[in-house]
Structure 1
Amino acid sequence: MSGSTERAKTAVIVEDDPDIRHLLAEVLESAGFSTVAVGNGIDGVDAVATHQPLITTLDVNMPGIDGFEAARRIRQRSDTYIIMLTGLEEEADVVLGLGAGADEYVVKPFRPRELRARIEALLRRPRAGESGAAAPSHLNGAGRPTPAADAVVDISPSSADTSGSPRPAGVDAADEGEWLVHRDLRLDPDSRIVRLGGDDLELTRTEFDLLATLMESKRRVRSKADLTLVLRGESYVTSYYVGDADKRAIEAHMTNLRRKLGDSPVNPFYIETVRGVGYRLTSELSGS
């Protein structure tokens, strides 16, 4: 078969604890992967460059270079899905890990069945540049989150023509209906392009999916548990355990997203926090 088929069967494990390394290999091999295991960050970066795996697991505290630096180096040369594993639980460490390019952040000790479920859900999300990847179950045919009945977005060309909103740079009138708009922020779910003002905005896969979900939902509040399940393609809270580490990861992704938008959580222009509940878009009438 093709090289992409081989790649889909490969995972690199970067972990200095031999017992955890063995456990990770068991979980990944039970999911159909062949595994390459190394014990430090430098060897991990080299292993990813050599094998171009679909999945890479990274321990944070390792000899040589730590997981954060390893993730940054790996992300420069590979779009492998990165799962960081650590005993650290502080939000600052979650922010560092996700900001370095990780896709998932798992706190030790972890349950093998839960890690397997996270891996399978992660594989349903498109890698960078995969605009034609199959949409997760929570997405409609256009590859965008399915909004609730009270959050239907009218983005037809006719409504765009009467809104008075400027057309995104480089977008023809016939394509305008594909863009979601909030203030000067525009997002195309199909091409996975985000524009802030007239400039393209570089977001990670997770940041894009979070922003797309919020822009579809508009003023409907999305909880951290809800957003966790959206990212993993799960339909109901009862079908998947959402723990404190999951919610901290959403907070970390939101911190990184706001930083890239130049948005302040204290005086938000795009995304506001509903204390004790979750997140939603700001009102178009406020903060202008």
Structure 2
Amino acid sequence: MAYQIEYAYTCHIGKVRNNNEDNFWCCGESLDSENKGMSHVCSGHIKQADLPLLAVFDGMGGESCGEMAAFLAAESCGQYYKEKKKEFSEDPEQFMNGLCSTMNHAVCHYGKENKINSMGTTAAMLAFGKENVYSCNLGDSRIYQISSEGKLGQLSLDHVLGGGRFGKPPLTQYLGIPEESMGLEPTIVPQKAEIGTRYLICSDGITDMLSDGEIADILTREISVSETVELLVERALIKGGRDNITVILCELVEQEKSLFGKLLNYFL
């Protein structure tokens, strides 16, 4: 099926934190290691045939280690994608596993070189095939799907230990797991690509502030992806904005026909 992806994204520092430990990789765009987020929402569209990749990273660790972990993940994500994106069509799951291993190596290598024992980042990603959309995650940054009928479903798996009864539970999966432990197990889920479906990738700056019901209410409004991202961030800030907020929202739409295709349909 030929389709294109309309997308919008932003990254906000929130109302409480002094630093931004979030980052992303969206169709070639990401943030520097030291940043204060973005002042606006960016948007665009891309053909599925161009094999786009969307990703959100939420860094962990003191003394700027979280920012560096998220930056390294975004940087190595972009490098891997540029070098190997054609391999996605051959074996999507192998591509995603290879991507996770590459990003994990980048974070672990930096930690060893700089004698840092505690740094890491979540990862939540989407890649688009002809027939299926592939979600992949490590940690608790989430990926939601909302169908054209307005049904919300979480595609990602929260990799957390226990129920978080005494505060935020520790992660069982993330980028930065020591390579010698062989413990990296990303959750990869294929979903049939259908026109009208929206996908949301976000850090816990959204999900800790807004319930699934509130998220579904916003995602089902008949407004553009860009306006939807603005509204999600606005609501999270109103609810307290206690963490950094990163959002990528996309919608699958019919691919615009070329002039030749339009003329051909006209004469047929």
- Do Structure 1 and Structure 2 share a fold, with TM-score over 0.5? no
Higher helix share: 1
The TM-score, its normalising length taken from structure 1, stands at 0.23
TM-score normalised by length of structure 2 = 0.24
Asked which structure has the greater RCO (Cα within 8 Å, sep 6+), the reply is 2
Larger Rg: 1
Q: Which has the higher strand share?
A: 2
